[in-house]
Structure 1
């Protein structure tokens, strides 16, 4: 059965996007990382938040990579959690209106592989619903000072995590954790 995994590149001060969802900061930190390459091979489907799906792209202006998951490094079924699906269908993308249905559909499509979650709000919802299995964070040496946090839940609860792995790549420290 598929597991859910939230992966993101994060600044040292805890942001995955800059103010207004700006992803341009990430471009200079995208480089060879064996852990990212390995993760891509483990993904069976994506569960994406609407803001992430429609938002900024660190590959903006690059026709080979813009708008593609992992800059074109991954291809497969995508499920976008939204209450406002577009009128026209998008090939390879299914728009789902509620978390439970979205997680079920993404897991069915992933088979024995991971459902990779993209988007802080969807990850938070999955954590609160008890359906988030793992977190994989690539910490890069930059301080953004403001933006979208990895997890943002003011007054939230203490969530216990178990370290699965820590590794280093050029320009990143990789932390893989299991939600206990």
Structure 2
């Protein structure tokens, strides 16, 4: 498990649970598959909500399907996260949302998320936003949990891109697919 001392200040972490065939959401953005296929969390994953200082959420993810909607587990990390969020969207809502800021520019959204996170992680939610951070050289770490199911379609954790090969360094003692970007 990563200790707080090993977490870079306001590191940008893309964390996602994906199917064995690489999808983080099913067809039409369906997230209900998570409840049917998640196993017990690992110690590294159980500690993640307390290590997260801000969520950077893509617009589609913010407006999308929460598999725990209407339950005590609604929200990020099955309701375990209660901190600030920044949503990257082309169309901010007309009315404010408590605890949520909206940004239309990627760099500004990342900067604001890092300010809000302090010395903890900025956890990126949403494949398109994570991929935009990766293309811009802003992503620091990737954490993927693989669930034993083949969804056959939906939103991929990573889409093919023109970046070429991206070097990753495995983080030791996490028990997960947790990597730091090689720079």
What TM-score results when the alignment is normalised by the length of structure 1?
Answer: 0.91
1:165–1:142 Cα change, 3 Å: farther
Deviation at 1:69, TM superposition (A): 1.5
Question: Who is 2:115 aligned against?
Answer: 108
CA contact (8 A) 1:166 1:175 kept: no
1:115–1:167 Cα change, 3 Å: closer
CA contact (8 A) 2:25 2:155 kept: yes
C-alpha distance in 1, partners of 2:116/2:49? Answer: 15
Question: Who is 2:11 aligned against?
Answer: 3
Which residue of 42, 62, 66 maps to 1:57? 66
C-alpha distance in 2, partners of 1:21/1:70? Answer: 18
Partner of 1:9, secondary structure, is strand
Which residue of 164, 171, 176 maps to 1:157? 164
Question: Who is 2:141 aligned against?
Answer: 134
- Tell me if 1:88 matches 2:95: yes
- Tell me if 1:78 matches 2:80: no
Which residue of 172, 175, 178 maps to 1:176? 178
C-alpha distance in 2, partners of 1:129/1:98? Answer: 12
Partner of 2:33, secondary structure, is helix
Question: Who is 1:36 aligned against?
Answer: 45
What TM-score results when the alignment is normalised by the length of structure 2?
Answer: 0.89
Question: Who is 2:34 aligned against?
Answer: 26
Unaligned runs of 5+ in 2: 1-8
Deviation at 1:52, TM superposition (A): 0.4
Unaligned runs of 5+ in 1: 169-173
Aligned residues: 173
Deviation at 1:35, TM superposition (A): 2.0
Question: Who is 1:171 aligned against?
Answer: none
C-alpha distance in 2, partners of 1:31/1:77? Answer: 27
Partner of 1:124, secondary structure, is helix
Q: Which has the higher strand share?
A: 1
1:73–1:99 Cα change, 3 Å: same
C-alpha distance in 2, partners of 1:99/1:83? Answer: 10
CA contact (8 A) 2:88 2:109 kept: yes
